[in-house]
């Protein structure tokens, strides 16, 4: 029996021992050593050669990842680790560090209960370190800290043992500040990392050693030994005394929760159904005998097996041959195969129990983020909220006309596997528009279309996706939107949503299904400062926009509400200024006049009336564009500082902070994504390749007023629209 088969057999044997399971992911800033670390953990479990660990990068098995030397896709592996004579099943997910692939991190967090946050000892916490910690805490995933590349402090920076300790304490303090600042209220101050209890581990993933205070005490290894081994170049000996996988996985077992513990506080956070219902109780107890609840967090397209759905089972058991529902999709799906993942390999098993991460084939209707269950009427899991939204778009065309149907299918499959890729067809131009998190994200997807789907495509230069919103409120009494037959009229007022409510929507603190969770939505909005009658009337939430009904006793309005929601969805996707998505807006329905006969208030009448009312109200209140922004951190030698500030100045950047450490300066700034195209080659050229930089998406800000008209005109021309937006008279019809 091969080592992988033996490991699979052990893993299956441990599946029903919940206290001995750990679902964890490895997350960090780019190049802080996650994939090398994952390699060594897998090698320690005997699933690959120790000589190849850190070089083979078994979790970066995609050709694109190997060519670029970065992690692009999250990858999972199940392994068994023994602590004090007891075996534990560790389901590990390695995640990307590049800002463009943050969606992979967020989805992996939904499947995990714990996280190893990796931080480089030389660079310290970076923007993406903060982002991954925020993603973990938002999903109620408990972190521990691994400070990597400690050997570089001795060999490259030539620090003394005292300076080295000071540096490490500084990193731990900064991480704890972030954890305290971003932690949910019920764990604030509890989820911090401490050197003395072993929730902080430091070491070198590349040289395969690690140490924690409990391990040092148990084995008699000291800080002085670390320093000497690094200085003398005998880190291999140190790796024998303190093997990375043993020290770090011991810490995982002792400090990160098992599924039966974690689900008690995670389920009410990620599922807003009735906790006292049968599925609710089963998930709280992580009961493998209860109804099946499986959340898909990733879809992999395998050339032989087709689509493989990978995700977390929160209750019940996944068995080959069973019929399941994908909530929101018609009919049932039959599970063809179930198994566990080890990097690129899928080990098939008869069944996978609750509390584990499973790989399933046969779920043809599932998307990343779908809820799969045996209960047809169950509430779905809360949608996964990504820390940033698609901000860059390219127009994609098939090189050969005969490939057009194949292109449509391919784009559908791509967006199924990666919900941060949004695909639209521009009806006027017939172009296929593909939006993603950044230039690199879209570039990688284009390569994948050519390589995996054998499809030749051409793509336009990337352009920025803006958001539309309103600057004022009104009009009083609402804007009248008439139906084509003039028998139905709707009156909407609009205004900007307060920032605290926009943030609560982004952070999943308000349930997205306003009808099903009416009381919870009302309570939360009142807590955030809304008056009861406005909060009580909320009937629809779309992204960061809310629609509320403040009317009284209007006949037939209740039956028309579903059509009103459909119309709102149309408006939210395409605003009146430039047909860009709408964000951060409250729509207040203040009056309506409806025909008593349902035949005269069908979709063809209601939808245009509502759309015109909201468009007109937005136009009267004043529309604006919000542009996506990035935080840009550049580290550069002092003599090149002027070149960096000049380069940033040309990109409408605002310098926020500058820190000097030795000969290096760290410049922190914010800049519009629209100005950041080609930044990589420009900053290399400006500094002679001596700059290190990183970016993080930080949401949207209003476009400066002097640029508004010019940008609007460009967007409208590109979309084949008249150059000037319509005025309110156009919508009063």
Express as a percent the part of the chain with pLDDT over 90: 41
Distant-in-sequence, close-in-space partners of 597: CB < 8 Å, separation ≥ 6: none
Residues 340 and 200 reside in one and the same domain: no
Q: pLDDT tens digits for 331-378?
A: 899 999 998 876 557 788 888 999 998 989 988 888 878 899 999 889
Whole-number Å distance between alpha carbons of 233 and 155: 9
Quote helix, strand, coil % in the chain, to nearest 5. 40, 30, 35
Residues 305 and 186 reside in one and the same domain: no
Check pLDDT > 60 for residue 66: no
Mean of the pLDDT values across residues 176-188? 88
Q: 213 in a domain, yes or no? A: yes
Check pLDDT > 60 for residue 498: yes
pLDDT at 23: 93
Whole-number Å distance between alpha carbons of 344 and 594: 58
Residues 235 and 344 reside in one and the same domain: no
Q: 400 in a domain, yes or no? A: yes
pLDDT at 70: 40
Phi, psi for 304 (deg, rounded to 5) = -95, -45
pLDDT at 34: 62
Residues 9 and 127 reside in one and the same domain: yes
Whole-number Å distance between alpha carbons of 460 and 478: 41
Mean of the pLDDT values across residues 39-47? 65
Between 577 and 676, residue with greater pLDDT: 577
* Cα atoms found within 13 Å of the Cα of residue 327, Cβ hemisphere only: 20
Residues 411 and 349 reside in one and the same domain: no
pLDDT at 682: 87
Mean of the pLDDT values across residues 560-572? 95
Q: Write out the H or E segment, with its range, that includes residue 421.
A: none
Highest mean pLDDT among 32-36, 94-98, 429-433, 525-529: 525-529
Q: 715 in a domain, yes or no? A: no
| Two structure tokens written together for 527 | 């807590």
Torsion 67-71-75-77 (CA) sign: positive
Residue 516: Cβ within 10 Å count: 13
Residues 574 and 671 reside in one and the same domain: no
Whether 515 and 541 have beta carbons less than 8 Å apart is answered as no
Which of 224, 257, 290 terminates a domain? The answer is 257
Highest mean pLDDT among 87-101, 622-636, 679-693: 622-636
Domain count for the chain, please give it: 5
Residues 117 and 215 reside in one and the same domain: yes
Nearest to 191 by CA among 145, 142, 128, 253: 142
Mean of the pLDDT values across residues 434-453? 79
Q: Which of 45-59, 296-310, 381-395, 455-469 has the lowest mean pLDDT?
A: 45-59
pLDDT at 450: 82
Residues 20 and 156 reside in one and the same domain: yes
Does the predicted model carry a pTM greater than 0.85?
Answer: no
Residues 312 and 360 reside in one and the same domain: yes
Residues 150 and 242 reside in one and the same domain: yes
Whether 586 and 478 have beta carbons less than 8 Å apart is answered as no
Residue 142: Cβ within 10 Å count: 24
Which CATH number do you get for residue 152? 3.40.50.300
Mean of the pLDDT values across residues 716-723? 88
Q: 718 in a domain, yes or no? A: no
pLDDT at 428: 55
Check pLDDT > 80 for residue 31: no
Whether 479 and 621 have beta carbons less than 8 Å apart is answered as no
pLDDT at 705: 93
Q: 85 in a domain, yes or no? A: yes
pLDDT at 542: 93
Whole-number Å distance between alpha carbons of 17 and 288: 11
Check pLDDT > 90 for residue 679: no
pLDDT at 8: 63
Q: Which of 70-79, 532-541, 664-673, 721-730 has the lowest mean pLDDT?
A: 70-79
Mean of the pLDDT values across residues 466-493? 94
Which CATH number do you get for residue 504? 3.30.230.10
Nearest to 42 by CA among 30, 50, 33: 50
Considering the chain, what is the average pLDDT of its residues? 85
Confidence of residue 325 (pLDDT cuts 50, 70, 90): very high
Which CATH number do you get for residue 407? 3.30.70.870
Residues 149 and 243 reside in one and the same domain: yes
| Two structure tokens written together for 521 | 């939505």
Q: Using DSSP bridges, classify how beta strands 432-436 and 422-425 pair: parallel, antiparallel or unpaired.
A: antiparallel
Mean of the pLDDT values across residues 105-123? 86
Q: How many residues does the chain have?
A: 733
Between 548 and 205, residue with greater pLDDT: 548
Confidence of residue 731 (pLDDT cuts 50, 70, 90): very high
Q: pLDDT tens digits for 604-613?
A: 999 999 999 9
Task: Name the 3-class secondary structure at 327.
Answer: coil
Q: pLDDT tens digits for 257-283?
A: 999 999 999 999 888 888 999 999 999
Q: 477 in a domain, yes or no? A: yes
Residues 119 and 246 reside in one and the same domain: yes
Which of 465, 491, 522 terminates a domain? The answer is 465
Check pLDDT > 80 for residue 116: yes
Distant-in-sequence, close-in-space partners of 443: CB < 8 Å, separation ≥ 6: none
| Two structure tokens written together for 565 | 């929601």
pLDDT at 165: 87
Whether 362 and 394 have beta carbons less than 8 Å apart is answered as no
Q: 171 in a domain, yes or no? A: yes
Based on C-alpha coordinates, what's the Rg of the chain? 27
Whole-number Å distance between alpha carbons of 44 and 135: 28
Mean of the pLDDT values across residues 55-65? 41
pLDDT at 95: 61
| Two structure tokens written together for 505 | 């929507």
Which of 216, 231, 257 terminates a domain? The answer is 257
Distant-in-sequence, close-in-space partners of 81: CB < 8 Å, separation ≥ 6: 44, 45, 87, 88, 90, 245, 249, 252, 253
Give residue 72's domain range: 3-257
Which CATH number do you get for residue 637? 3.30.70.240
Q: Which of 99-108, 143-152, 575-584 has the lowest mean pLDDT?
A: 99-108
Q: 90 in a domain, yes or no? A: yes
DSSP-derived letter for residue 699 is: E
């Amino acid at each position: 029996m091969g080592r992988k088969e033996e490991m699979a057999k052990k893993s299956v044997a441990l599946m029903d021992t919940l206290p001995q399971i750990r679902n964890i992911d490895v997350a960090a800033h780019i190049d802080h050593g996650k994939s090398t670390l994952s390699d060594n953990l897998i090698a320690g479990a005997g699933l690959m050669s120790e000589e190849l660990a850190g070089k083979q990068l078994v979790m970066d098995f995609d050709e694109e990842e190997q060519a670029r030397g970065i992690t692009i896709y999250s990858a999972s592996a199940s392994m068994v680790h023994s602590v004090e004579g007891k075996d534990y099943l560790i389901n590990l997910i390695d995640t990307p560090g590049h800002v463009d692939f943050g969606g992979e991190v967020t989805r992996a967090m939904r499947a995990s209960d714990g996280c190893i946050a990796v931080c480089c000892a030389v660079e310290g916490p970076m923007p993406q370190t903060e982002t991954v910690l925020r993603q973990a805490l938002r999903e109620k995933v408990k972190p521990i800290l691994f400070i990597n590349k400690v050997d570089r402090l001795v060999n490259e920076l030539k620090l003394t043992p005292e300076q080295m300790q000071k540096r490490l304490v500084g990193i731990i303090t900064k991480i704890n500040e972030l954890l305290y600042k971003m932690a949910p209220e019920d764990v604030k101050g509890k989820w911090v990392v401490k050197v003395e209890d072993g929730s902080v581990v430091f070491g070198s993933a590349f040289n395969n050693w690690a140490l924690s205070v409990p391990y040092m005490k148990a084995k008699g290894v000291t800080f002085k030994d670390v320093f000497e081994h690094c200085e003398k170049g005998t880190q291999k000996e140190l790796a024998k005394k303190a093997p990375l996988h043993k020290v770090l996985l011991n810490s995982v077992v002792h400090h990160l929760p098992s599924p039966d513990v974690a689900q008690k506080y995670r389920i009410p956070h990620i599922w807003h159904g009735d906790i006292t219902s049968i599925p609710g109780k089963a998930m709280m107890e992580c009961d493998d005998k209860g109804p099946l609840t499986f959340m898909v967090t990733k879809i992999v397209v395998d050339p032989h097996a087709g689509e493989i759905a990978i995700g977390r089972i929160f209750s019940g058991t996944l068995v080959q041959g069973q019929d399941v529902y994908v909530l929101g999709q018609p009919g049932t799906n039959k599970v063809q195969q179930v198994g566990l993942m080890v990097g690129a390999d899928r080990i098939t098993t008869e069944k996978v129990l609750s509390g584990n991460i499973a790989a399933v084939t046969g779920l043809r209707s599932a998307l990343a983020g779908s809820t799969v269950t045996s209960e047809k009427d169950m509430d779905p899991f809360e949608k996964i909220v990504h820390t940033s939204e698609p901000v860059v778009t390219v127009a994609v065309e098939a090189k050969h006309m005969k490939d057009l149907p194949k292109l449509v299918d391919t784009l559908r499959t791509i967006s199924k596997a990666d919900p941060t890729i949004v695909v639209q067809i521009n009806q006027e131009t017939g172009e296929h528009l593909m939006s993603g998190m950044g230039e690199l994200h879209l570039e990688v997807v284009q390569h994948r279309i050519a390589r995996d789907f054998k499809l030749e495509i051409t793509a336009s230069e990337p352009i920025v996706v803006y958001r539309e919103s309103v600057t004022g409120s009104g009009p009083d009494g609402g804007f009248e939107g008439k139906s084509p037959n003039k028998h139905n009229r709707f009156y909407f007022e609009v205004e900007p949503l307060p920032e605290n409510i926009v943030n609560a929507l982004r952070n999943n603190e308000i349930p997205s299904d306003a009808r099903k969770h009416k009381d919870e939505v009302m309570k939360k909005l009142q807590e955030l400062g809304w008056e009861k009658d406005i909060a009580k009337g909320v009937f629809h939430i779309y992204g960061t926009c809310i629609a509320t009904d403040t009317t009284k006793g209007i006949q037939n309005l209740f039956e028309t509400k579903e059509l009103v929601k459909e119309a709102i969805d149309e408006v939210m996707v395409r605003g009146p200024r430039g047909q860009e998505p709408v964000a951060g807006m409250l729509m207040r329905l203040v009056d309506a006049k409806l025909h008593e006969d349902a035949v005269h208030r069908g979709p063809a009448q209601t939808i245009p009336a509502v759309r015109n009312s909201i468009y007109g109200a937005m136009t009267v209140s004043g529309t604006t564009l919000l542009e996506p922004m990035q935080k840009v951190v550049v580290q550069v030698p002092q003599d090149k500082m002027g070149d960096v500030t000049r380069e940033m100045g040309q990109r409408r950047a605002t310098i926020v902070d500058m820190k000097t450490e030795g000969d290096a300066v760290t410049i922190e700034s914010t800049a519009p994504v629209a100005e950041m195209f080609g930044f990589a080659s420009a900053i290399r050229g400006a500094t002679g390749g001596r700059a290190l930089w990183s970016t993080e998406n930080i949401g949207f800000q209003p476009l400066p007023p002097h640029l508004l008209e010019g940008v609007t005109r460009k967007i409208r021309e590109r979309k084949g629209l008249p150059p000037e937006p319509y005025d309110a008279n156009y919508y009063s019809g």
